Amino acid sequence: MNSAELFIIAVGLSMDAFAVSICKGLSVKGRLRPGHALITGLYFGGFQALMPLLGYVLGANFQSLIVSVDHWIAFGLLTLIGVNMIRESRSQEEEAMEDSFSPGVMLPLAVATSIDALAIGVTFAFLQVDIGRAAAMIGTTTFALSAAGVAAGRLAGGRLKGGAELLGGLVLVCMGIKILTEHLGLL
């Protein structure tokens, strides 16, 4: 997998964290400080980098058992995650967000927004992707977009949230289709 493809996946994965970061920016009462963006970026970027590593270890241990269907698994996981993000982007439900940036608030958000990165890590094991480079790119991209999301949330409000989730979902579905068609020899 080349750097451009990894970057596209990193952006797609970071859209959940970006959407939550926008909500965190909306929740800030008073003046938005640079520390708010830094904390959010560190939590979300850190977990988005850690989870693919964990998924990769799990996937590598089971790879020999499912090597003949790994492209179908990669397609299925990416499509499932992408379709779920698209569905969430269409939801009219407003999510209430606590204005605290404490570990008790940020840790569950970071874990929740990075579960799909765990599944991507499994997929990366099947595709034999350089996991160190991939995790670093995913973590760095998510850090930057999450930090920017806090500021964007403060400035633009919730208008960006649905679009971010929709874009991320579409990117992941397209990458899943690309992986499947390449392995089936259609591309």
What single string gives the DSSP state of each residue in 91-141? --PPPP--S--SHHHHHHHHHHHHHHHHHHHHHHHHHT--HHHHHHHHHHH
* Residue 94, pLDDT above cutoff 60: no
HSE-CB for 90 with a 13 A CA cutoff: 8
* Residue 50, pLDDT above cutoff 90: yes
* Residue 158, pLDDT above cutoff 70: no
Confidence band of 157 (pLDDT split at 50, 70, 90): low
- pLDDT given at position 136: 97
* Residue 88, pLDDT above cutoff 70: yes
Model-wide pTM > 0.85: no
Alpha-carbon distance 108 to 111, whole Å? Answer: 5
| Tokens 């806090």, residue located | 150
Is the distance from CB of 136 to CB of 7 less than 8 angstroms? no
- pLDDT given at position 79: 83
Per-residue pLDDT, averaged over 7-18, amounts to 91
Q: What own/partner pairs with CB < 8 Å and gap ≥ 24 does 105-108 have?
A: 106/39, 106/40, 106/43, 107/43
Per-residue pLDDT, averaged over 72-76, amounts to 80
The amino acid that residue 150 corresponds to is V
Is the distance from CB of 115 to CB of 16 less than 8 angstroms? no
- pLDDT given at position 93: 63
